[in-house]
Amino acid sequence: MSDEQIFDQKDNHPVNIKRWVRFGISLLIVIVILLLVFSSMFIVKEGEYKVVRQFGEVIRIENDPGLKFRIPLLHSVTTLPNKKMVYDVTEKEINTLDKKRMIIDNYAVWEIIDPTLMITNAKTEINAESRMGEFIFSVIRSELGTMNYDEIINDEGSTRGDLNQRVTQRVNELLARDNYGIQVDDVRIKRTDLPDENEQSVFRRMISERESKAQEYLSQGEAEKNRIIAQADRDVKEMLSKAKAKAAQIRAEGEQEAAKLYNEAFKKDTAFYQLYRTLESYKKTINGDTTIILPSDSPYTNSLLGYTE
């Protein structure tokens, strides 16, 4: 084997190493490029805002669903909700117009309408909710402070009217004034309670008022019952009086007609009429235990013995 062949065999190994190094560098470059490409993409979903920042400053807001791009390492992306949300306001105590204390528990439905303003002035979603809760409590305290306790807890005859609408409108005015970029769609009072130390006394007063009202209803019912009974008695008496008068009239007419018939019968056969009248009197004066002593010339005796004049 010559010296040239030996040199080629010795140089073969260094040549293979260089090729692998070049392949590794190329592969690393491809991976870095792929990472940069993938890190430059982000997806905007339905119901969310994507906030693109450069060194902490908002440069654009993406809210259309789809695939979006940014400059890797230079731009950062955060997410804000783009939908209606429910905020449960912390319950607090207020004083009514008649100086009674009560605890108000309410909630609000709200949404972000300008993410840039919200980030600029409220910084975070939590801070925005906190400021909104303060405005809601302030407005509700002001509104309910002009009403008596009974008006608040009793919807019937209450002057609350469109309280929820008034509170919502006023809170939105305060949020717009301070440019918080959020909007309240609805504010609702879900519960009104008394402080524990006042609850039992108020319950006792309410029970007393209900018992008084019940007694009033019972008295009215008893008076109405007596009125109906008295009216029914008067109607019955009037009906009986009319019936008796009608019966007396009918009886008189019957007796008059009977007398007329008797007279006509008497005129036709005097002897038969006298016999009939005598027999009728027997029916009224004689029964099974009757003992009769009659003179011999009595009409009864003559009839019984069959004598005729």
* Structural domains of the chain in order of their starting residue, each with its CATH number: 3-79 (no CATH), 85-193 (3.30.479.30), 281-309 (no CATH)
List, in order, residues 6 or more apart from 281 with CB less than 8 Å away. none
Mean pLDDT computed over 252-260: 85
Mean pLDDT computed over 216-244: 90
Whole-structure pTM value: 0.54
3-class state of residue 106 by DSSP: strand
More confident residue, 124 or 190: 124
DSSP structure class, residue 113: S
Rg (the chain; Cα; Å): 56
Mean pLDDT computed over 57-64: 88
**Angle, in degrees to the nearest 10, between helices 196-268 and 270-285:** 140
pLDDT at 101 > cutoff 70:
yes
Contact status, residue 172 vs residue 183, Cβ threshold 8 Å: yes
pLDDT at 157 > cutoff 50:
no
Mean pLDDT computed over 61-70: 87
280 — pLDDT class (breaks 50, 70, 90): confident
Distance CA 168, CA 221 (A): 46
4 — pLDDT class (breaks 50, 70, 90): very low
